[in-house]
Structure 1
Amino acid sequence: MGYEKRRLSVLLLDRIGYSFYRDESGRGFLPHDRYAVRLVTSLAKVTEAVGDELESVLAVDAHDMAALKDAVRYQAAFKGRKADRLVAVTERFLLPAAELREELALPGQTVAQALHFRDKVLMKEHLRRHGVRVPEFAAFSERAALDLLDRATAVVAKPRLGSGSRDIFVLRDPAEVHAFTAQQRDRLDEFEAEEFIDGQLYHVDSVVQDSEVVAAVAGRYIDETTSYTELRPCRDVAVAPGPRLDALLEFNQRVLTAHPGFTGVTHHEMFVRDDDIVFCEIAARAGGGGVIAGFLSRTGVNLDEAVIQAQVEGTVPASPAPAAHLTGFTVIYAGAGVLEQPLTPPDEPWVLECQIMAGPGDTLSEPENCNDAVAIISVRGDSEDEVVQRLNQVRDHMAPVVSRGL
């Protein structure tokens, strides 16, 4: 007599919308024949919760962490059956998910492990113990910042658990340190201070199995990640094969070796100054912007699907070596006002992906972080120069036209 294999019960903590967890063809990352999904999602995204694999859906205010945690607790014991896994893919939820796994006795990343990818002080302390070159840093205090300023050209203050390039301050003299301390006096314990590294910012995006890199692609930020504060596009181009790429990949592997047993996806940023590479930060998630589109184009692997597979099955997809072509993306911002014209990319075969987040008539607010874009366009090319030229073409073609009103 045959029997039906029990599906794995996956509790998914989401804020970006359930339609995100499928590819362009509509294939879901958690198919019905293998998984029963208990979803906790945002009220604003609940209409996307469609699929035979869904056995329960709860929607709450995504900014109410207490409500989110209560919803997870309910879903973890839905109909008296304990969930098998708790999954989260967005950075904001990685630490809460780890806390809930420990509370609910579910397998997966622990709080201590998650903090090494979230808390910028703890992650640098951890890597420094493993011999990785990190900037001088300290939990923020006025004294610590002034001491750092004595040895550096400037001090960077940023939130220890921050994301989206938000609330980053460059303090260049004691007066600026004093002013920052006064301005942020009610939440100084949320910040770290680190020496300003005058170098080019790169990133390496990796699929990792048991701390060994399975596949990785490197990119160079052409513009500062804080360019949203000036409403300028942020462009990024993949690094071509050569000594620079080899050095970035080797440094990336050394950092991941300091996280034994880690399986999943990482977005790792680092500074390059002449031939010196200095750690910036690392996150246990897929990169933003057009990183996912570029990685998919060159390896055939969707990074978010790899995150889910790692958290559910403890493995990552097999990944071929990256294809020879290169990719890049530009993130486009607009100021407050009403968008007057559609954001339409160039009609070119080298455009890989268009993420359009605003349309004519939409009322826009000033961007608060690097994720507050109106469009993200990914392109491909045969060389770094060709990719950059195409990014510039996109930038010029898609300049937002916004009516500021009276």
Structure 2
Amino acid sequence: MSDEPVQTLVLDHIGYRYYRDTDGRAFLPASRNRVRLVTDIRKLDQARGDELAGVVGVPRGDETLLEAAAHFLDGVSERPTQRIVAISEGLLLTAARMRDRLGVPGPTEHQVLGYRDKVVMKERLRERGVRVPDFAPFTEANALELLRRHGAVVAKPRRGESSAGIVFLDDAEDVRRFAATTSKDELARYEVEERVDGRLFHIDSVVRDGVPLAAVAGRSVEETTSYRRLEAFRDVAVGPGATLDQLLAFNRRVLACYPDFSGVTHHEVFLTQGSGGSGDEVCFCEIGGRAGGGGIIPGFLSRTGVNLDEVVIRSQLGLEVPRPPEPAPHLTGYALVYAPAGRLDTDLTPPAEDWIIDTQLRFQVGDVMPRPAAWNQAAVTVTVRGETEAQVQARLDEVIELTLRRLRGRERG
């Protein structure tokens, strides 16, 4: 193996501070990487490190400009790009397309579509006998037929993120209204599927060649669209028992359908009541080839000592995915608290408690907060630990109540 640093192109929109651990250790150390970074122009101040050979800032959401900036950095470099890294869900396909164009090893567009496009992923899994919702690319006719078969359907952006753009369609009038008020180009980016009546869970795994090396599961207490009502969202890890065993078994079955995948997966499933009182059954919802959001990364780190973003980076660099230790017996959970639009004049940092393991503040005092438009746009995200599911949920409730009191005080002021 060459001792020369790898010429690494990084596509980013969350900020370069996430490419280091909490102690400042770089996931892309200068001794092994020469990094060309395309990042959110508002977060250029985070682009620091001896490994950086070039940095360009672009407005977040402008994919055309981001790709142009990436090709610029590749073109002006003395040595060609050898690896391309992207850890955010919305950039996985962009990175894959660039690998294909530049002949760079790593996940291809065809591979990434299997865990990025909701129609493609369900087609591939259904072919392999995995229970998935009844679905189709969105057309008015497809939606009406699924509505006839199932009584209620949901339209989702095929490559959407953070539950943005989801539309619940309860009857034929809802379907026709959605089709009539949405542009043709936008409708082509949607799928429609039966609305599964079940509880939502997720399984987060470190994976090598389609085999989970370590996995934990969590339960969504609220719907992921709770942000629309400004209601807090809670997620609690699943403790040992039959439910956890069932979730992990289904996860292994789904991951076996991705034998060429190594890295990190965030897998969402529904647990439904089986027919004839036969007990709970698992139904696929979606899967992503990246770390989950909210407090999933700090929760996994707390239980295994492994940072999921670092695993994603290692896998895209072609390095071996490490086998994490077995998850520790304590449990974790996280809460997302949303705020109404307005200026923040109160610090939302929770008080120091040994059971609070991570806090993410989206806004600082003085910032003007827009109304949240997606699940991940919480004003504050707090991750906690506890010995039981009940204790974790009680601690989340405590954090939520304190945060809401502060926000209500802001409104009175």
Q: Do they superpose with TM above 0.5?
A: yes
1:331 and 2:332 aligned: no
Matched, 1:277 2:268: no
1:84-115 per-position Cα deviation (integer Å, ceiling 9, x unaligned): 10010001100011111101110011111111
How far 1:143 sits from its partner (Å)? 0.9
Counterpart in 1 of 2:125?
127
Could you tell me how far apart the structure 1 residues matched to 2:94 and 2:299 are? 29
Give, in angstroms, the shift of residue 40 of structure 1. 1.2
Q: Residue 183 of structure 1 aligns to which amino acid in structure 2?
A: T
What residue number does 2:367 align with?
362
Q: Between 315-324 and 291-300, report the one with greater CA deviation.
A: 315-324
The 1-side partners of 2:124 and 2:396 are apart by 37
Q: Corresponding residue for 1:236?
A: 235
Percent of aligned pairs with the same amino acid? 49
- Which whole-Å CA distance do the structure 2 matches of 1:157 and 1:357 have between them? 29
Match of 2:88 among 87, 90, 98: 90
State the 1:318 CA deviation. Answer: 2.2
1:245 partner amino acid: L
Give RMSD over aligned pairs: 1.5
Q: Which residue of 1 aligns with 2:245?
A: 246
**Aligned-partner SS, 2:297:** helix
1:190 aligns with 2:192: no
Mapped partners of 1:226, 1:25: distance in 2? 34
Aligned residues of 2:355 and 2:386 also touching (Cα < 8 A): yes
Deviation of residue 169 (structure 1)?
1.0
Query: Which residue number in structure 2 is paired with residue 158 of structure 1?
Result: 156
Q: Who is 1:206 aligned against?
A: 205
How far the C-alpha of 1:316 sits from its partner, in A, is 1.4
CA contact (8 A) 2:335 2:382 kept: yes
> Deviation at 1:366?
0.6
Indicate which of 388, 392, 396 corresponds to 1:387: 392
Query: For 2:183 and 2:15, how far apart are their aligned partners in 1?
Result: 36
| Matched AA of 2:336 | V
State the Cα distance separating 1:317 from its structure 2 match: 2.0
Which amino acid in 1 is paired with 2:331? Answer: L
Q: Which shows bigger deviation, 72-81 or 9-18?
A: 72-81
Deviations 1:193-220 (A, max 9, x none): 0000010000000100111101111000
Q: Kindly tell me: are residues 405 and 76 of structure 1, through their superposed partners in 2, closer, same or farther at Cα, counting changes over 3 Å?
A: farther
Where do residues 303-342 of structure 1 align in structure 2 (5 Å cutoff)? 303-342=308-347
Contact between 1:346 and 1:397, CA under 8 Å: does it hold in 2?
no
**Residue 343 (1) aligns with residue 348 (2):** yes
Contact 1:293 1:352 in 2 (8 A): yes
Corresponding residue pairs, total: 403
Counterpart Cα distance in 2 of 1:321 and 1:208: 14
Partner residue in 2 for 1:10: 8
Summarize deviations over 1:340-371 as a string: whole Å, max 9, x none. Answer: 32113133210010111223322111101011
Equivalent residue letter for 2:394: Q
Deviation at 1:405, TM superposition (A): 10
- Residue 303 of structure 2: SS of its match in structure 1? helix
1:401 aligns with 2:407: yes
Deviation string, structure 1 residues 14-63 (Cα, Å, up to 9, x no partner): 11111111011100101111111111112111111111111111222232
Distance 1:358 1:77 in 2: 37
Deviates more, 1:229-238 or 1:350-359: 350-359
Q: Is the 8 A contact 2:106 2:318 kept in 1?
A: no
Gapped regions of structure 2 (runs ≥ 5): 274-279
Q: Which residue of 2 aligns with 1:222?
A: 221
> What one-letter code is carried by the residue in structure 2 that aligns with 1:94?
L
SS of 2:215 mapped into structure 1:
strand
Q: 2:97 aligns with which of 83, 96, 99?
A: 99
1:212/1:253 contact within 8 Å kept: yes
The amino acid that maps onto 1:47 is D
Q: How far, CA to CA, are the matches of 2:180 and 2:96 in structure 1?
A: 34
What SS does structure 2 have at the residue aligned with 1:40?
strand
Residue 348 of structure 2 aligns to a residue whose secondary structure is: coil
Deviates more, 1:345-354 or 1:231-240: 345-354
Q: Report the CA distance between 1:329 and its aligned residue.
A: 0.2
